[in-house]
Structure 1
């Protein structure tokens, strides 16, 4: 005998980022397909329908995780430790965010789920909470909340509730897509951090980070306070890059630029100036160079440090 479909209930009328995002989180966390397949998405303000819902959020004037009620409009609604009020997105994320992230990760990355969920909570979900509750410091017209708000049918549009429900699902697809990409970006960054730390431990000189492939590495250097001046890694064209480390995140300067005498030189001219036979180029701004081999890149870094 088949199980009855879950009834997922939120409010009708104009929708906002918090309940739209929460719906995407619920679908992922509960392993649900599209609306109408294994669950019904019901947008209503009818108290009887709300009371009969299996999961209810952003409506109903009740917060009870065990009963799967996640409203934040009533007196005594929960707040974050610093007093920031939760929105429906924040309440759903506290209960289901870890499971949603876990559903998006490959099995070998399951151990990253808690850290990724915590970072998304601080960087994304908290922002949704602030915007929905009117405590955000500024309004971003290109932010997720604004983009989702634009999915609402216009005041003079036709189609009534059916059009609004369809627009809600379109907005939810956008929110879920953003969440999927954010999880993948953070997974990649955290995986790269682990590889950078392991590579640094193997490097003969702690000032020269030798990587077996290109990856985001500067963030790990900053986070872990590594004394890296240059990173070496293979490029897609077969060369080996010599990439200078900036002094702080977002800076276009370098802790130690490549030598000024190498700036803008290529091939034979650079080989002569640097003393590295297979040196290929040094950027005019001296933040990156390359050699044809790993040994050549290592020698460029060694000589740059000696001349620095």
Structure 2
């Protein structure tokens, strides 16, 4: 059994802070030490990460470990790769194995890869204004490193655990959406329940519109994005005037009508090219 958690001292970064969030959750009984002393970082009784050249240090010149999209792994990604399942079981107990696997993948894709990219200097992931690394580094005080590091870990803990909880909720809601979805045509999908749908819809090349209920009792027709994360839709909705149309967004990505029947009617009008 390990005696302590060990990472580097000096200025900390988002990758070692978030790695510490995972490890302190899994090993709450272990003290956390920040040092570069070789005697400590090479001690096999210590769990060492982001320093020391071991399994969870990514600074080796020949280190080729990467995420699926080619971004090099930093300490956060390496820890997540090995311990995500155990961590998720702590955060959201009683999850099935499929949900754990999906949550692990989604959190990695939506969050962890970005942190690792920033730590490894992958420029296309770097924001010109403010990043999670900036937020983490705001806690750094070289006159009191350990106190500021613990503050950063506490801050990061809230971010990561919230991301996990939201991802699980999204996956559960998405599952319900998919189970109740009906293809009216290969270009039109009806969702009798509202919830996350874009990840599912984007896999169908011909799909142009999705119809779904709104919480206010109205119904909505929404265009399918041209690509993941895009605000551009395959077929914008023009400004059509009908007594049952409540609103069409000026960009044409969505419209609101009074009933499901009218939403489907509008969608078929657009698909057929009959917008009069």
Distance change (3 Å), C-alpha of 1:295 and 1:106: farther
| SS at 2:189 equivalent | strand
Q: 1:41 aligns with which of 32, 41, 55?
A: 32
Residue 114, structure 1, aligned to residue 101, structure 2: yes
Deviation at 1:99, TM superposition (A): 2.4
1:91 counterpart residue number: 78
Is 1:225 the counterpart of 2:201? The answer is no
The aligned runs of 1:229-268 (5 Å cut-off) are: 229-249=208-228, 250-255=230-235, 257=237, 260-262=239-241
Task: Check whether the contact 1:144–1:175 (CA below 8 A) recurs between aligned residues.
Answer: no
2:66 aligned to 67, 73, 80, which one?
80
Of 265, 268, 273, the residue aligned with 1:299 is 265
Distance across 2 between alignment mates of 1:295 and 1:84: 46
Structural mapping, 1:1-308, within 5 Å = 7-28=4-25, 30=26, 32=28, 38-50=29-41, 51=43, 53-63=45-55, 70-73=56-59, 77=63, 79-80=65-66, 86-105=73-92, 107-108=94-95, 110-122=97-109, 124-134=111-121, 136=123, 139-140=126-127, 141-153=129-141, 160=143, 163-200=144-181, 202-222=182-202, 224-225=203-204, 227-249=206-228, 250-255=230-235, 257=237, 260-262=239-241, 270-271=242-243, 279-283=244-248, 285=250, 286-306=252-272, 307=274
Supply the distance in 1 between the matched residues of 2:175 and 2:132 (Cα, whole angstroms). 30
Closer/same/farther in 2, CA of residues 46 and 112 from structure 1, 3 Å limit: same
Moved more, 76-85 or 98-107: 76-85
TM-score, with normalisation over the residues of structure 1? Answer: 0.70
Per the normalisation by structure 2, the TM-score is: 0.77
TM-fit CA distance, 1:110 = 4.4
Contact 2:7-2:48 at 8 Å conserved across structures: yes
Query: Do the aligned partners of residues 166 and 207 (structure 1) sit closer, same or farther apart at CA in structure 2, a change above 3 Å counting?
Result: same
- CA distance in 2 between partners of 1:211 and 1:79 (Å): 41
Gaps of 5+ in 2: none
Contact 1:62 1:74 in 2 (8 A): no
Give the structure with higher Rg (CA). 1
> C-alpha displacement at 1:205, in angstroms?
3.8
Shift of 1:305: 3.8
Q: CA RMSD in A?
A: 3.5
